[in-house]
Each structure stands twice: as C-alpha cells, then as structure tokens.
C-alpha cells in the first residue's frame, strides 16, 4: 500500500488535479467522523475527487486499498458512503472510465478489491438502512465484476423496489 507520507501522491491525480491532499483526507477518514449526510467531510471530498461523475484517476487506485484497510480496522464504524466509493471506483475501472492502474499500485489495488466481499460480511452487525444495504451489496457486485448489477443496486430505493414487486407480483 502506498504510504500516506509518500511523495508519489503528488505525482498521482484526482478529479481536481494533483492528489497531494488525499493522504490527509484518508487520515481524517480513519477517525470515522460522522458521515450522514454524505456531504460532510472527508467523505464528500474523497467521493468527488476519486470518483467524479463515473470517472476515476490514478489516485483512486492508490486510495482504495487505504479505504479497505480503514474499514477492516473498525468495521462497526464504517459508513455506507465508503462502500459506495469502493463500488464506484471498481465499476469505473471495469468500464475503463479512467487511466490504467499504474504498475506500482496494481497488486495492492487487486488485493484490496478481492477483500471487499469479506469486508461486507464483517459489517453485518452494523444496522443497515436502504442506503447502506445498496452501497454494501453494490461493492460486492463490483468486486465480482458485475457492472450492470452494480448499477442496478445503486439505483434501488424503497419506492423502486415496491414498484418493481408490484409490476412483477402484484404486491402493494
């Protein structure tokens, strides 16, 4: 995993330019500040910088293993927005909506992606609302390479599910 103190972060980019600010945001994230609504920091800046309108950047590949490690360190404190970020980065990579993974970041990135399904299992004791459920399940689908399913899960909400079930089974 790229050390947070590495000068390499200044060579990587995110949606708004050089990513030298990402290590500080990841340090803040490790303290699990309140995350609802998602516009709070550092969640909002990480989401908008690392996965902006479906596009990802070289810093996205360096940051993802850190996000996975942060969740692994304290799964009960993980916010749903972190799983949304993981899903967004991986689905954008699958769809080639960013640069190739830099060779020096590839092994750590791929290892972190492979840990996502177990990571979602580790947060099973946390209460899940609709947003948490969708984000966590989408992260698993993305980690397994299911891009269309990931999109569908991220679009779900209670009203959409009720409408779908009503059309399929006549449920209210």
Q: Show me where the domains of the chain are located.
A: 7-169
CB 30 within 8 A of CB 78: no
On whether the CB atoms of residues 56 and 14 are closer than 8 A, the answer is no
| Mean pLDDT (the chain, rounded) | 92
> Around Cβ 2, how many Cβ atoms within 10 Å?
21
Identify whether the C-beta of residue 149 lies closer than 8 Å to the C-beta of residue 141: yes
Q: How far is CA 140 from CA 6, 40, 91, in A?
A: 30, 25, 11
- Give pLDDT tens digits for 110-127: 999 999 999 999 998 888
Residue 172 — pLDDT band, cuts 50, 70, 90? Answer: low
Per the confidence metrics, is the pTM higher than 0.85?
yes
Beta strands 51-52 and 17-18: pairing type?
Answer: unpaired
* Beta-strand relationship, 13-14 and 55-56: unpaired
pLDDT over 90 at 155, yes or no: no
Q: What per-residue confidence (pLDDT) applies to 116?
A: 97
According to DSSP H, which parts of 57-155 are helical? 58-73, 80-94, 103-122, 130-143, 147-155
- Phi (first) and psi of residue 33, to 5 degrees: -65, 160
Model pLDDT for residues 22-73, shown as the tens digit of each residue: 999 999 999 877 666 667 789 899 999 999 999 999 999 999 999 999 999 9
């Amino acid at each position: 995993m790229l050390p947070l103190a590495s000068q390499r972060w200044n060579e990587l980019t995110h949606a708004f330019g050089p990513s030298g600010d990402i290590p500080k945001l990841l340090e803040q994230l490790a303290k699990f500040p309140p995350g609802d609504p998602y516009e709070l920091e550092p969640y909002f800046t990480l989401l908008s910088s690392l996965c902006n309108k479906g596009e990802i950047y070289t810093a996205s590949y360096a940051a993802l293993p850190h996000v996975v490690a942060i969740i692994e360190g304290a799964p009960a404190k993980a916010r749903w927005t972190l799983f949304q970020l993981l899903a967004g980065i991986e689905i954008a990579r699958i769809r080639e909506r960013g640069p190739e993974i830099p060779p020096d970041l590839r092994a750590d990135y791929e290892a972190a992606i492979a840990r996502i399904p177990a990571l979602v299992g580790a947060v099973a004791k946390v209460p899940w609302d609709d947003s948490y459920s969708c984000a966590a399940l989408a992260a698993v689908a993305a980690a397994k390479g299911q891009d269309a399913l990931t999109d569908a899960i991220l679009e779900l909400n209670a009203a959409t599910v009720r409408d779908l079930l009503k059309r399929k089974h006549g449920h209210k």
